Amino acid sequence: MSDIAVLLLAAGESNRFGLGVKKQWLWIGEEPLWLSVARKFRGWGFERITIAVPERELPFFRRYSEFPVVQGGATREETVRKALLQMEKSPHLLISDVARPCLSRELVERILLHRDEAPCVAPAITPPDTVVYQNETVDRSQVLLVQTPQLCHTETLKRALEEGRGFTDESSAIRALGERVLYVKGERGALKLTFAEDLRWLDCLTPPSQRGRSGYGFDVHPFTPDRPLYLCGLEIPHSHGLAGHSDADVALHALIDGLLGAAGFGDIGELFPDNDPRYKGISSVQLLKETLSLLTSCGFRVEQVDMTIMAERPKLKEFKLPMEERLSELLSLERGKINLKATTTEGLGFVGREEGIAATALVTLRYFDWSRR
């Protein structure tokens, strides 16, 4: 099947889904949904599989994916058009939503069987319910619910998408061009995951692994005069603050790195580059909030945090409790799941010479269990 390229669409924002999680990032066993669908297609013998993803999540998809990943757009049509520009040339393109995870191999084979009969082959089913259109009951046998995957002649599809008319699938674009679309028998089980309640009907999906994921963060910042000192999002009275591009809250930076490490999402420097003017002088509380929002939208929940701050001065003993309380508030996590330690380094090294402060964080994340709502 080397003349058929597969394009999997995972660039949507999941606006209708609910749960505060993007459906492409639902965990299926030990892997995200999009990866499990891509591996399924590979298992069926497809060798050229590309995944179109949202721009902001591109680096995270790349970290998880053994498949090429391309940047999608704001709509399905724009995503396919952009993907076509980024993909290697291929005479046929099979396009499917990752949100249709339970489609069968038989359905794909049925589509491929007709590959040379029309510029577009699409699976479709008739509605089982009565259909009323503009207050009139219509003959439902004449109504088609068009599914994916759809197999397209790549060049025809490119022409069909040139104008950008807001088509909701490829078969509509190709038909609007005046080209033929061949509808083959679809599959009722190939349900598209749109709303959270659809999860009930998608019985091919394995519940998410409940294995904890650990991440480790470490950071150092040097002292500088004339700057407030921030640790764990609190201003701590001291003669010096810490130097850095942001407010240099070394403890929150270590925490953010621990969070990103546990999610497998890289590090703070990749997410918030220190040469980006947007982050100059920014409160690290803001950086933590953005990190948490990203992890939450991908389904991760913080389970436990253990941190150590290393400083010769100021003495942090009296600030440990307020700092833990602040972390508890920022992470929406019970106090008992947060542990903050402060230590000196007995006069040794850069911390001992009072040149700066170091911090470490050990974070445990767990994936929320969508199967037990």
The amino acid at 60: F
249 binds Mg ion per the rule CB under 5 A: no
Q: Which residues contact 286 (CB under 8 A, 6 or more apart)?
A: none
291 binds Mg ion per the rule CB under 5 A: no
Q: C-beta of 255: minimal distance to Mg ion in Å?
A: 11
DSSP symbols for 330-344 = HHT--GGGEEEEEE-
Q: What is the β-pairing status of strands 229-231 and 300-310?
A: unpaired
Residue nearest to Mg ion (CB): 253
CB 65 within 8 A of CB 51: yes
Q: C-beta of 286: minimal distance to Mg ion in Å?
A: 14
Stretch that binds Mg ion, among 117-125, 136-144, 247-255, 286-294 (CB under 5 A): 247-255
Q: C-beta of 244: minimal distance to Mg ion in Å?
A: 6
User: What are the Cα distances from residue 62, in Å, to 90, 259, 264?
Assistant: 22, 18, 11
257 binds Mg ion per the rule CB under 5 A: no
Q: C-beta of 302: minimal distance to Mg ion in Å?
A: 20
Q: C-beta of 91: minimal distance to Mg ion in Å?
A: 50
Which residues on neighbouring strands pair with residue 52, listed in sequence order? 9, 70
**Closer to Mg ion at the Cβ: 190 or 255?**
255
Stretch that binds Mg ion, among 10-18, 84-92, 176-184, 246-254 (CB under 5 A): 246-254
Q: How many residues bind Mg ion (CB under 5 A)?
A: 2
219 binds Mg ion per the rule CB under 5 A: yes
Tell which residue, 51, 39, 54, has the closest CA to residue 87: 51
**Closer to Mg ion at the Cβ: 152 or 256?**
256
DSSP symbols for 23-52 = GGG-EETTEEHHHHHHHHHHHTT--EEEEE
CB 6 within 8 A of CB 41: yes
DSSP 119: S
253 binds Mg ion per the rule CB under 5 A: yes
Q: C-beta of 247: minimal distance to Mg ion in Å?
A: 10
Q: C-beta of 259: minimal distance to Mg ion in Å?
A: 14
Stretch that binds Mg ion, among 80-88, 198-206, 218-226, 340-348 (CB under 5 A): 218-226
Q: C-beta of 232: minimal distance to Mg ion in Å?
A: 13
Preceding peptide of 314 cis, ω within 30°: yes
**Closer to Mg ion at the Cβ: 161 or 340?**
340
**Closer to Mg ion at the Cβ: 57 or 219?**
219
Number of neighbouring beta carbons within 10 Å of residue 170: 28
**327-336: which pairs have CB atoms within 8 A and are 24 or more residues apart?**
327/232, 327/233, 327/255, 330/233, 330/285, 330/288, 330/289, 330/292, 331/292, 331/302, 331/305, 332/302, 333/302, 333/304, 333/305
**Closer to Mg ion at the Cβ: 76 or 253?**
253
CB 208 within 8 A of CB 367: yes
Binding mask 88-107 for Mg ion (x = CB under 5 A): --------------------
Tell which residue, 190, 147, 186, has the closest CA to residue 170: 147
Binding mask 171-210 for Mg ion (x = CB under 5 A): ----------------------------------------
Q: C-beta of 267: minimal distance to Mg ion in Å?
A: 10
Query: Which residues lie near Mg ion (CB under 5 A)?
Result: 219, 253
